[in-house]
Amino acid sequence: MKVLFICSGNTCRSPMAQAYLQSLKPDWEIASAGTKRNCAGKPASEHAGEVIRQNGGSLAAHISRKFTSEMAQKYDIIFVMSKRNLQEAVQIAPEAAGKIRLLGGDKDIPNPFKGDLKKYQDVFECIRAAIDGFVNSVDPGR
C-alpha cells in the first residue's frame, strides 16, 4: 500500500505520522508533504524529532517537501491533518479528492508548531491512535 501524509509545513505532524506508520508497516511505501508554498527543504522540528526518537524512530534524514498533483497520483490514500489541509490538498490536486481523507476522522489533528515538547507528545498520541485505527481496519489480524 502507498500512503501519503500531508500537513501544512511538513516539519511536525506529517513526518511523525510517516515515521510511525513506517515502523508498523515497513513494506508499505509511505511519505509526507506539506501544503504551504515555502515548506520545501526544511528539517523536521526538533520536538518532532525528539518524540519520534522516544518512540524508537528517527527524523534525522527528513527534509520537507511541497505536495503536488503529480505526487498525489502515486498514492493509494492521502491523509491530511486538518480540514484546512484537506481544502488545500484538493485545491492542489482536485483529481485526487476521492482518496484524500482527514487522518483524525472528523477531527483535526492539532498543529504543535512552536509548542513545547508536551504538546508534540500529545499530538503524536492523536496521530498514533488514528494510525492504529487505520491499520486495524486494513489489516485486522496484525
pLDDT tens, 84-107? Answer: 999 999 999 999 999 999 999 999
pLDDT bucket at 133, cuts 50 / 70 / 90: very high
Cα 108 → chain centroid: 12
Residue 30 pairs with which residues in a beta bridge?
3
Outline where 11-94 has alpha helix (H). Answer: 13-24, 46-54, 69-74, 83-92
As its CATH architecture, domain 2-138 has 3-Layer(aba) Sandwich (3.40)
Query: Exposed e or buried b for every residue in 11-27, given b needs 16+ CB within 10 A?
Result: bbbbbbbbbbbbeebee
Mean pLDDT, the chain, integer: 96
**pLDDT average, residue stretch 40-45:** 95
SS3 102: strand
Q: What is the pLDDT of residue 37?
A: 87
**pLDDT average, residue stretch 71-96:** 97
Q: Domain locations in the chain?
A: 2-138
pLDDT bucket at 139, cuts 50 / 70 / 90: confident
CA dist., res. 127 & res. 142, Å (int): 18
Angle (deg, nearest 10), helices 13-24 and 117-138: 40
Q: What is the pLDDT of residue 73?
A: 96
CA-nearest of 43, 42, 65, 41 to 52 is: 43
Q: What is the pLDDT of residue 142?
A: 55
Total-model pTM: 0.96
